[in-house]
Amino acid sequence: MNQNNKSVYDLDGIPPLSSASLLGLQHILAMFAGNVAPLIIVANAMGLPMEQKTFLIQCAMFMAGVATLIQTYPIGPIGARLPIVMGTSFGFLPAAISISAKYGLAGVLGASFVGGFFEMIIGAFLKPLRKYFPPVVTGTVVLSIGLSLLPVGVKYFAGGVGAKDFGSPSNLLLGSIVLITILFFKQFTRGITSMSSILIGLIVGYIVAIPMGKIDFSPVVNAKLISFPTPLKYGMTFHLDAILAMLLMYVLTAVETVGDISGITIGGANREATDKELSGGVMADGFGSAIAALFNVLPNTSFSQNVGIVALTGIMNRFTVAVGAMFLIVAGLFPKVGALVALMPQSVLGGASIVMFSMIAISGINLITKEPLQGRNSIIVAVAIGLGFGLGSVPEAIAHFPESVKMIFGGSGMVVTGTIALVLNIILPEDSEEELVQPKVKLAAKAQ
């Protein structure tokens, strides 16, 4: 095997297993908490006992690994063949809580199952729709994703929402240690230590957190040695209103996935995503979500924080992500492994999230500026980000709207941003050549 095939920077490269394991584990540690958190929240809302929560976490880890393998090594047309990490989506959380209150977890899973196949259909017909997603639209969505995640990263950094010591000096110190460690190894070292800077930062933070009293290992001791996820443990029921609510969310998550895939290709390979990659990625989103529903898990989607890792490291290698997926599957089969990783303090994850989420925003900017940011394009970005991110930051602005509207448009602002960018791109006329040339003439005149 030649050296080129071993490169971790090649999409199809097969690097040494030692390097691939470190880089894959880096991806998994970055998404682990976000993967299990949505199910924990739904389980808490339903009042499920600890044993069932543990079981749902196990299922979430197992299915994230399976869905990630499908994305990296496709089944026919299903899969993007890119280093995409899949996991339980936060975007479906409001709808899942609402449906579970009325129909229980079985109603959520039934609606998710149907919605998964609906997203597969969207993916199959994505090519003729591609013209509606030029760089200015996908870039604006990616930028919105990065911006909307920044407050999440800061909340992790401060200790996590609901933490009794939220914002304490010890949490801020721990997050800062992780952030400084990542910056040091990324910028002042070479080779594997530079590429694994995020993993090193997370490990250093984990070790430092032990003497600080922030880690209790009793859940590891109490966890079972081995356990297999049981499909259809809670059954499935199908209700039209629940299904319709889920279908809408699947449309929105398809747009987000298009943005994530574009973020990966621009951040890791400095190119736009192909039609085949976008179509396969969205189809894998739907297929993975349908299987996830069979295994008692909320819909799976591409994880934006891992897009940030690709953008930060430049490592566009799917083998490393596939190795990471195997770690997830193992964690799903051996609860003690999952429990050990799940003990990572939120502030440790926050130190890494600050960098990763910011890099997603940078990838969005790189996409947007593929074309001159002037005239029509500048209007699209300005209005979409202005209203979308603005409403996401001030959700009380739509306090008098129905709950269904607030649930969809009052969250992170990504939905509003993507919708406005898509609509404006369709209805605004293209700039004339004179309008494109005029700003350049003015700049040249000023320079003289």
Can you give the residue ranges of every domain in the chain?
Answer: 3-135+157-164+226-347
β-pair partners for 302: 86
> Helix axis angle, 335-342 relative to 318-333, nearest 10°?
110
How far is it, in rounded angstroms, from Cα 393 to Cα 361?
Answer: 16
- DSSP E strands: which ranges in 202-319? 300-302
pLDDT, residue 65, reads: 95
Nearest to 375 by CA among 444, 434, 420, 443: 434
Predicted pLDDT at 436: 59
As given in the structure block, the two tokens for residue 335 are 């609860």
Q: CA–CA separation, 228 vs 62, rounded Å?
A: 9
CB proximity list for 14: less than 8 A, separation 6 or greater: 1, 5, 6, 20, 319
Q: Is the dihedral of CA 152, 157, 158, 164 positive or negative?
A: positive
Residue stretches of the chain with pLDDT short of 50: 1-5
Amino acid identity, position 446: K
Please, what is the Cα angle at 57 between 26 and 34, to 5 degrees? 45
Phi and psi at residue 404, to the nearest 5°:
-65, -40
Residue with tokens 């987000």: 256
Q: CA–CA separation, 43 vs 41, rounded Å?
A: 5
The answer to whether the beta carbons of residues 295 and 229 sit under 8 Å apart is: yes
Yes or no: say if 387 and 152 are a contact pair by the CB < 8 Å rule. Answer: no
Strands 300-302, 86-88: pairing kind:
antiparallel
Instruction: Supply the pLDDT for residue 358.
Output: 85
Q: Say if CB 308 and CB 355 are below 8 A apart.
A: yes
| Whether 84 contacts 306, CB under 8 Å | yes
Does residue 301 sit in helix, strand or coil? strand
For the stretch 226-239, pLDDT in tens is 888 889 999 999 98
DSSP SS3 for 409? helix
pLDDT of residue 6: 53
How far is Cα 421 from Cα 133, in angstroms, rounded to an integer? 9
Half-sphere CA count of 60, side-chain side, radius 13 A: 30
The rounded distance, in Å, linking the Cα atoms of 246 and 237 is 14
The pLDDT assigned to 411 comes to 58
Does the CA dihedral 20-22-23-26 come out positive or negative? Answer: positive
**Rounded to an integer, what distance in angstroms lies between the CA atom of residue 303 and that of residue 210?**
28
At 4 the pLDDT is 44
- The pair phi, psi for residue 301, each rounded to 5°, is -150, 170
Helices marked H in 165-239: 169-188, 192-195, 197-209, 218-222
What's the gap between Cα 1 and its chain centre?
Answer: 33
